[in-house]
Homo-oligomer: A and B are copies of this chain.
Amino acid sequence: MTEDSYPSRVAAEATMLPRLDPVVRRDPRHPAPVDAARIDAYERDGFMVLEGVFDEAEVDALRRHADELRDARATLEAGTVIREPGKDDEAAVRSVFAIHRQSDGFAALVADRRLAGLAASLLGDEVYVHQSRLNFKPAFHGKEFYWHSDFETWHVEDGMPRMRALSMSIMLDDNHPQAGPTMFVPGSHRRYVTCVGRTPEDHYKASLRKQEYGVPDHDSLRRLVEEGGIAAPAPRAGSVVVFDCNTMHGSNGNITPFGRSNAFVVFNAWSNRLVAPFGDTRPRPEFIAHRKVDGPIPLTPESAGRRRAA
């Protein structure tokens, strides 16, 4: 059995464990395509905002790919379309998963050196897509997303061994500061907040709509926020927010007339591929946590730094 470096959902009391893995690996084989100062800030804060990575024409194309996927929802792989809680009408799509496998446009996006190249640089390894999705936060009635560390779930429910993964959120709309933007707790990625209780089987079906299990406790959240505060960047369309797999984040609901959508890609280090879930449950479906991966995303290492990400 694989050793569990980050046990969670096993004890009755929540604890904060130290992070055992570096946040950034400065591996000379994968030169960083962004400034060193930004990488330092990312290492410290657990996230960074890269403005204007994609230009207007590129964003327009991504929006078209997103609309195509949403329009094709009836023909997509079963289960990959997630709706808002309580709303079963056609319009209230909250997420579409596995977009890089269901759309040529998003397949090209994830392999873009500004994304995959940057991920390889930060993780110091070749990378593959652990998860990809489109997120739509509706205007007027967008629901909140409670605080969580992605890694805690990926570790317990998917079997991701170590903290050597990160997420990129590509903004398809200008974000309004009051439209329930994603909030990050700077510095929280350096602690591992364990959650209490066991994971029920098929928990993912409910948790993708509204999280109720595997959530961090109030005391730990209070401590992390006392130390790091809350950052709530509201970047423009075409920007990319990069955040570490263990950065605590969440979002309030949205009653404003401003909806927002983004494409979301999780890159995992090739050396950190999934094993059996550490929570002793059945692995979640392939579209939520890819296991059937032929190989890392092809990158030409010597050219990975050629095109700047910001």
Contacts and interface: CB of A to CB of B under 8 A. Distances in A.
17 contacts: A139-B218, A140-B218, A140-B221, A144-B253, A144-B255, A146-B255, A178-B230, A178-B252, A180-B252, A183-B255, A222-B257, A251-B255, A252-B253, A252-B254, A252-B255, A252-B256, A253-B253
Contact of A230 (B139, B146, B176): B176
A232 B230 CA distance: 17
A152 to B, nearest CB: 17
Nearest to A231: B178
Interface string A250-278: 11111111000000000000000000000
Interface residues of A, number: 24
A257 B183 contact: no
A225 interface: yes
Contacts of A178: 183, 230, 232, 252
A230 B256 contact: yes
A147 interface: yes
Q: Give me the 6 closest cross-chain CB pairs, A-B, nearest first.
A: A222-B257, A253-B253, A252-B252, A144-B253, A225-B257, A252-B253
